[in-house]
Amino acid sequence: MAKGITKRSEDYSRWYTDVIAAAKMADYSPVRGCMVIRPTGYAIWEKMQAGLDKMFKETGHVNAYFPCFIPESFMKKEAEHVEGFAPECAIVTHGGGKKLDEPLYVRPTSETIIWSMYKNWIQSHRDLPILINQWANVVRWEMRTRLFLRTTEFLWQEGHTAHATAEEAEAETRQMLEVYRTFAEEYMAMPVIPGIKTENEKFAGAERTYCIEAMMQDGKALQAGTSHNLGQNFAKAFDVTYQTEAGVREHVWATSWGVSTRLIGALIMTHSDDNGLVVPPKLAPLQTVLVPIWRGDDERAQILERANQLAADWKGKFSYKIDDRDNYRPGWKFNEWEKAGVPIRLEMGPKDLANNVVVMVRRDTGEKEILSQENLTAKISATLDAIQKNLYDNALDFREKNTHTVDTYDEFKERLENESGFYWVHWDGTTETEQRLQAETKATIRLIPLAPEPEPGKCMITGKPSPHRVLVAKAY
RNA sequence: CGGGGCGUAGCGCAGCUCGGUUAGCGCGCAUGCUUCGGGAGCAUGAGGUCCCCGGUUCAAAUCCGGGCGCCCCGACCA
């Protein structure tokens, strides 16, 4: 039934790219490592943007736009930042046919150019906080790329805030992490675990990085969003100070936070199946498609008339399309919309017309149901809600089934071989042990829980004391 | 950067080993008719720098040399 899509059990990577191709979400571009986001993929991004942007505004943020070119000298001002990003930057050396006096970095992230501006905008505590977000593209010259998950250029949002106190910055960082968690769970129907990154994994230039981690269907972890407490690092690098109420000059406290088009990859790998894309109703570009079935022009006219009558009640309640194309047959359409992940398909033919019913098919379960044409609108709305919930429940159930607790390194290594998934383990808190773990098993410490359950134990590798467990997994 | 695979019609491929008519096949595309409840059938038709450069030869998609590009897998990263 799913011609052209490799089964997940055969080859997970190929399945992933097949789903994207079958749903016409993206295409490879003439430029290595870059992708073209096609209308179907972009529509999902627009839905994500709409949901997130609303939440950003509700928490007091405003949008702005900063340039994509950053003077080299700016990039070099924060030591850890430049060290972290320099290897993966694209640099413009020529413009207008002439060599530039100073090379321009194509932004891999915008902290530096934004803080160069904040320096001018901030003098007094009265100027704080600044709560700016921008929707933009960024470029990171990755060695290996995968559609949506890691491309040389990608789209994202980056919030950059400035605060008078460390406490306020920390509260902001945590608040935005919570926004991401809510978005992932409520819109994407993707359960996530919030936490803190280890020193080793934190953002270049941050004091502390928070993240949300999700489990993909192959048991691997995917970092779905990050929120950084930047402390005073950028304020010091760019000499951004303000006068307190008491008249004292202090460096400003900063945060930054972002999610990217990678979320689309996360969405695919959380819900989709061997028949193609599955999209939760809240992010589906098209929520319901009605496929009319007819023989001959008379039936066609009758069916379409009834379909339009029914659909008149749907406006403003959910998005829909009546697929009245005459050049494709119903079976072909069923398949196409299935691959595209449309949550609900309705079928209506002559028999249904005679019986005053329609056939409804759920994308998530494949269940067919014959519905009266009375109260159809309410039934569709309720089913969309049910699909949203079912997708979340399934994803959560999958994660729980694939989350393990282990105490010894031998057991960990053995189980990781056979069951990829999340592992809660004891760790002694050192970077050396973390690096050894990664070198020996390819798994990484994904996060330290926000509010860890105190559980004194011994590091599974070194046997040194550990106050609580951390989350370890192979990751994208 | 290492390992593997591959460049021939829009897409997927055969042909290459062993050089030889006008380079094929499937899907898709165009037109027409019949169809239409899970990827329709028939007929007709359009569509090619055989990745590039050089060499060998009467003759190269095919042999030789060099180059470029893409995909997959690993080391780094959202």
Position A418 scores a pLDDT of: 83
Structure confidence at residue A1 as a pLDDT band (50, 70, 90): very low
Distances (CA, A) of A204 to A93, A292, A360: 24, 55, 50
Beta strands A457-458; A465-466: pairing state: antiparallel
Structure confidence at residue A86 as a pLDDT band (50, 70, 90): confident
Alpha-helical runs (H) found in A341-421:
350-355, 376-401, 409-418
Whether any strand B atom is under 7 angstroms from the Cβ of A296: the reply reads yes
Whether any strand B atom is under 7 angstroms from the Cβ of A438: the reply reads yes
Element containing residue A301 per DSSP (H, E): helix A296-311
In whole angstroms, give the CA distance from residue A341 to residue A145.
24
The tokens describing A26, both together, are 């993206």
Look at the alpha carbons of A237, A243, A244, A246 in this order and tell me if their dihedral is positive or negative. positive
Alpha-helical runs (H) found in A71-133:
72-75, 79-85, 111-121
Sequence-separated (6 or more) residues with CB below 8 Å from residue A174: A210, A227
Query: Nearest-CA neighbor of A187 among A379, A50, A345?
Result: A50
Question: Within 10 Å of residue A270's Cβ, how many Cβ atoms?
Answer: 27
The tokens describing A281, both together, are 């109703």
Q: What is the mean pLDDT of residues A71-77?
A: 93
Please give residues of chain A from 59 to 118 whose alpha-adjacent beta carbon (CB) lies under 7 Å from any atom of strand B: 87-88
Longest CA span, chain A: 83
Each residue of A366-405: pLDDT tens digit?
999 999 999 999 999 999 999 999 999 999 999 999 999 9
Whether any strand B atom is under 7 angstroms from the Cβ of A334: the reply reads yes
Please give residues of chain A from 374 to 433 whose alpha-adjacent beta carbon (CB) lies under 7 Å from any atom of strand B: none
The structural domains of chain A, ordered by start, are 12-271 (3.30.930.10), 288-383 (3.40.50.800), 403-473 (3.30.110.30)
Position A2 scores a pLDDT of: 56
Sequence-separated (6 or more) residues with CB below 8 Å from residue A279: A44, A267, A271, A285, A341, A342, A343
Composition of chain A by helix, strand, coil, percent to 5 = 40, 30, 35
Alpha-helical runs (H) found in A341-372:
350-355
Position A134 scores a pLDDT of: 98
ipTM of the shown complex: 0.85
* pLDDT beyond 70 at A412: yes
Position A93 scores a pLDDT of: 87
Each residue of A341-353: pLDDT tens digit?
999 999 999 999 9
Q: Which nucleotide is nearest to A349 (CA to C1')?
A: B37
Whether any strand B atom is under 7 angstroms from the Cβ of A151: the reply reads yes
In whole angstroms, give the CA distance from residue A296 to residue A34.
46
Distance A218 CA to B75 C1' (A): 21
In whole angstroms, give the CA distance from residue A33 to residue A438.
26
Whether any strand B atom is under 7 angstroms from the Cβ of A157: the reply reads no
**Count of all residues that appear for chain A in the document:** 476
Secondary structure of residue A212 in the 3-state scheme: strand
* pLDDT beyond 80 at A284: yes
Q: What is the mean pLDDT of residues A456-470?
A: 96
Each residue of A302-332: pLDDT tens digit?
999 999 999 999 999 999 999 999 999 999 9
Query: Nearest-CA neighbor of A336 among A14, A40, A43, A22?
Result: A22
Position A117 scores a pLDDT of: 97
Distance A143 CA to B77 C1' (A): 9
Whether any strand B atom is under 7 angstroms from the Cβ of A45: the reply reads no
In whole angstroms, give the CA distance from residue A372 to residue A378.
11
Q: What is the mean pLDDT of residues A421-433?
A: 95
**Cα distance between the two ends of chain A:** 30
Nucleotides of B under 7 A from a protein CB: 1, 35-40, 69-78
Please state which of the ranges A81-95, A202-216, A284-298, A451-465 shows the lowest mean pLDDT.
A81-95
Q: What is the mean pLDDT of residues A155-172?
A: 98
Q: What is the mean pLDDT of chain A?
A: 94
DSSP letter (8 states) at residue A429:
S
Position A275 scores a pLDDT of: 93
Each residue of A89-144: pLDDT tens digit?
888 888 888 889 999 999 999 999 999 999 999 999 999 999 999 999 999 888 78
Number of H helices, E strands in chain A: 14, 25
Whether any strand B atom is under 7 angstroms from the Cβ of A347: the reply reads yes
Structure confidence at residue A21 as a pLDDT band (50, 70, 90): confident
Q: Which nucleotide is nearest to A358 (CA to C1')?
A: B37
Q: What is the mean pLDDT of residues A31-45?
A: 89
Whether any strand B atom is under 7 angstroms from the Cβ of A371: the reply reads no
Query: Nearest-CA neighbor of A387 among A284, A464, A458?
Result: A284
Distance A22 CA to B27 C1' (A): 15
* pLDDT beyond 80 at A3: no
Please state which of the ranges A98-102, A237-241, A422-426 shows the lowest mean pLDDT.
A98-102
Which long-range CB contacts under 8 A does A174-180 form with residues at least 24 apart?
A: A174/A210, A174/A227, A175/A59, A176/A59, A176/A227, A176/A255, A176/A257, A177/A210, A177/A211, A177/A212, A177/A225, A177/A227, A177/A257, A179/A52, A179/A55, A179/A56, A179/A59, A180/A212, A180/A224, A180/A225, A180/A227, A180/A257, A180/A259
Whether any strand B atom is under 7 angstroms from the Cβ of A350: the reply reads yes
Q: Which nucleotide is nearest to A150 (CA to C1')?
A: B78
In whole angstroms, give the CA distance from residue A91 to residue A45.
27
Cα radius of gyration (chain A):
25
